[in-house]
Structure 1
Amino acid sequence: MFRFLLKTMLLISILFIGVIIGFQEANHGLKEMKGFDDGTFSSVISVQEAEDYGEYEATILGEKVTSHDLEEKKKALEELNTYNLFTDMAKTFTDFLQKMISSLFS
């Protein structure tokens, strides 16, 4: 099982890297086709070290990504309060199992 998961994760990471390289090559092809370097065609992924020591700035598809943005998105997703049937079923099932096991031991 461990070998299967290892192979699967390796394959997924190789395919992901291939997609990123494909984006970069398409960007390079657009620049060559245009004939000059246009500022609207930025690189797909760029990582630069910030002024603060140890922090990095990442740009993905022309948009800056920071950890602060990720925290805001996480909070927004938590505030949506969407109903998920499978989550509710899983919670009910685990509560049932916990009560059953606790009653068996007591």
Structure 2
Amino acid sequence: MVKFMLKFLLLALVLFVGVFIGMEKAHQGMQGMKGYEDTALPPPVHISESEDGKIEAAFLGNEIDHAEEFAKKKKELEDIETYNFFSSMGKALSSFVKETAKFLIDFIMNLFKG
């Protein structure tokens, strides 16, 4: 089973990388058909290093900034106060089962005590 999972993950990784290579080749083909460099058509995956040593990445024209995105998503999660119906029902059910089991055990113990 472990060998199968390793083979499967390796195959998925190869196919995933193949998709990116295909996107880059399609981009080069589009530039070749136009005959000139078009700034309106950015490369699908672009990675560069700035002067201060920071690595900048862009995927399909969108800049990727992990620190900023992480802080923004963390703030959004803190701001959102959600009510999950299924979570509250699960808590109520577990509380009911716990109290019922406690009552039954106490009842049976009192029968045996006398």
Matches for 1:17-96 after TM superposition, within 5 Å = 17-53=17-53, 55-71=54-70, 72-73=72-73, 75-76=75-76, 79=80, 81=82, 83=84, 88=87
**Structure 2 unaligned regions, length at least 5:** 99-114
Q: 1:4–1:29: structure 2 CA closer, same or farther, 3 Å change rule?
A: same
Identity %: 34
Q: How many residues align?
A: 92
Q: Give the residue type in structure 1 aligned to 2:8.
A: T
Q: Distance in 1 between matches of 2:74 and 2:15?
A: 26
Taking only aligned residues, the RMSD between alpha carbons, in angstroms, comes to 2.9
The runs of at least 4 aligned residues of structure 1 exceeding 3 Å deviation read: 73-85
TM-score (norm: length of structure 1): 0.65
**Structure 1 unaligned regions, length at least 5:** 100-106
TM-score (norm: length of structure 2): 0.61
Determine which structure has more spread, i.e. the larger CA radius of gyration.
2
